[in-house]
């Protein structure tokens, strides 16, 4: 009997040592950003002990680092069951489940767990912030603002909550309230490029284009490749009639969008906008090149062909211009008459119109 008892003790010690060994190896992998290997090693530990709470939590974190949130939430849900059985509900675990469901766009589930987490840990600001995001992503801006207000009560200087509340106010077109919030942010000697963006948007909405451009430019000095800021600046320069400066900014947009891997649709619009700016500076050959790039990316856009018609006509490529105009009319027949009427009524295009519509 003693031999059997001794054998059990030895076996249990070996088991415990092996499980701990796996966790130790996983920790090394994690510290070196080898999240896949860390998760696999923790899976081996969990085969030995499926109720190993530490291994479950750590594997969930690995899955989050790998952006496999469907797997991480499963681990957290299992961990929540273990916590519940032990009679110790964990606010951190419930909050993590809420976050993962938020990323997975399962907003109702997210809110369920976030509220439970807040009940257990009412001072944890991120739970309240994520609750606000769950409403914001569903465009329930008033409910989102309420959640952000609760977060701000807990942490008055929580920048993400202040920024997100401002964004919701702007979505609701409550510019006065948004302006007051932004002003109070800067009066507190705080700084954030997104708040500069918002202040610029508010000024632009109020018609203060130069002041808006100043804010966008300040923000760009810190984040020079931010596409939103670059586009806002370019739009301001266009409104101010500063077309040479606009061209320079729109060329920066082209470089940044390629580097950042933007969609074909985004690229097409950006080349098109650069083409318009170049046209306004009388650089017609370069404008033509950019219109052609936009058409290559999106050949279904009638407006791209319409604008290329104008620049081809200016370059005396009447046959090419006529072909583009007919293509624009074909793609958007409801505007066909207006497209033709533009060239018929604009003296600059009299020669082109006579060639394209002889005898009219």
Distance CA 105, CA 72 (A): 14
How many CB atoms lie under 10 A from the CB of residue 320? 16
- Provide the pLDDT for residue 87: 65
Instruction: Tell me the average pLDDT across 239-267.
Output: 97
Rounded Cα distance between 233 and 242, Å, is: 11
The whole-angstrom separation of Cα 357 and Cα 337 is 13
d(CA 200, CA 239): 14
Per the CB < 8 A criterion, the answer to whether 266 and 257 are in contact is: yes
How would residue 7 be classed by pLDDT, with cut points 50, 70 and 90?
Answer: very low
- Kindly tell me if the per-residue pLDDT of 9 is higher than 50: no
Residues in the chain: 360
Please spell the DSSP secondary structure of 243-300, one letter per residue: HHHHHHHHHHHHHHHHHTT--HHHHHHHHHHHHHHHHHTT-HHHHHHHHHHHHHH-TT
Task: Identify the burial level of 219 via C-beta atoms within 10 angstroms of its C-beta, where 0-12 means exposed, 13-18 middle and 19 or more buried.
Answer: buried
CA dist 32 and 27 (Å) reads 9
- The structure tokens listed for 274 are 């650069």
Q: Could you tell me the domains of the chain?
A: 12-88 (1.25.40.10)
Query: If you average pLDDT over every residue of the chain, what do you get?
Result: 92
What proportion of the chain, given as a percentage, has pLDDT over 70?
A: 94
Written as six digits, the tokens of 90 are: 């964990």
Flag whether pLDDT at 15 surpasses 50: no
Residue with tokens 């929540």: 80
pTM of the model: 0.80
Element (H, E) at 333: none
Residue 262: Cβ-neighbour burial (10 angstroms; 0-12, 13-18, 19+): middle
| Exposure string for 165-189, b = 16+ CB within 10 A, e = fewer | bbbbbbeeebeeebbebbeebeeee
Q: What is the pLDDT of residues 43-72, one digit of tens each?
A: 898 998 889 889 999 999 999 999 999 999
Of 104-113, 121-130, 229-238, 351-360, least confident by mean pLDDT is 351-360
Asked if pLDDT for residue 301 goes beyond 90, the answer is yes
In the 3-class helix/strand/coil scheme, how is 88-134 assigned residue by residue?
A: CCCHHHHHHHHHHHHHCCCHHHHHHHHHHHHHHCCCCHHHHHHHHHH
Tokens 């002889």 identify what position? 358
Q: For residue 153, is pLDDT > 50?
A: yes
Is the pLDDT at 233 greater than 80, yes or no? yes
- Spatial separation of the C-alpha atoms in residues 220 and 120, rounded to whole Å: 41
| Dist. CA 179–CA 168, nearest whole Å | 12
Sign of CA dihedral 257, 262, 264, 266: negative
Cα-only R_g, the chain: 30
pLDDT digits (tens, 9 = 90+) for 86-99: 767 789 999 999 99
């Amino acid at each position: 009997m003693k031999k059997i008892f001794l054998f059990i003790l030895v076996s249990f010690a070996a088991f415990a040592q092996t499980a701990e060994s796996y966790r130790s190896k996983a920790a090394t992998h994690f510290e070196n950003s080898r999240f896949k290997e860390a998760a696999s090693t923790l899976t081996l530990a969990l085969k030995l002990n499926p109720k190993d709470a530490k291994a479950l939590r750590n594997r969930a974190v690995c899955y989050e680092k790998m952006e496999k949130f469907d797997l991480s939430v499963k681990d957290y849900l299992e961990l929540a069951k273990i916590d519940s059985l032990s009679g110790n509900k964990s606010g951190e675990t419930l909050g993590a489940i809420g976050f993962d469901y938020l990323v997975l766009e399962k907003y109702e589930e997210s809110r369920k767990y976030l509220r439970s987490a807040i009940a257990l840990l009412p001072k944890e600001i991120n739970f309240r912030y994520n609750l606000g995001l769950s409403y914001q992503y569903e465009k329930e801006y008033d409910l989102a603002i309420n959640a952000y207000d609760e977060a701000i009560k807990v942490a008055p200087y929580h920048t993400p909550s202040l920024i997100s509340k401002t964004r919701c106010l702007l979505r609701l077109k409550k510019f006065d309230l948004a302006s007051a919030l932004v002003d109070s942010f800067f009066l507190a000697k705080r700084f954030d490029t997104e708040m500069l963006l918002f202040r610029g948007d508010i000024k632009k909405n109020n018609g203060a284009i130069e002041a808006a451009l100043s804010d966008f430019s300040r923000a760009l000095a810190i984040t020079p490749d931010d596409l939103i800021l670059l586009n806002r600046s370019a739009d301001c320069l266009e409104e101010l009639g500063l077309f040479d400066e606009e061209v320079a900014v729109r060329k920066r947009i082209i470089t940044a969008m390629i580097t950042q891997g933007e969609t074909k649709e985004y690229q097409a619009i950006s080349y098109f906008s650069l083409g318009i700016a170049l046209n306004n500076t009388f650089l017609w050959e370069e404008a033509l090149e950019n219109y052609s790039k936009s058409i290559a990316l999106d050949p279904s856009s009638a407006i791209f062909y319409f604008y290329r018609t104008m620049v081809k006509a200016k370059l005396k490529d009447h046959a090419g211009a006529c072909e583009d105009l007919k293509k624009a009319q074909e793609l958007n027949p409801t505007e066909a008459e207006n497209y033709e009427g533009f060239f018929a009524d604009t003296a600059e295009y009299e020669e082109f119109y006579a060639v394209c519509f002889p005898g009219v």
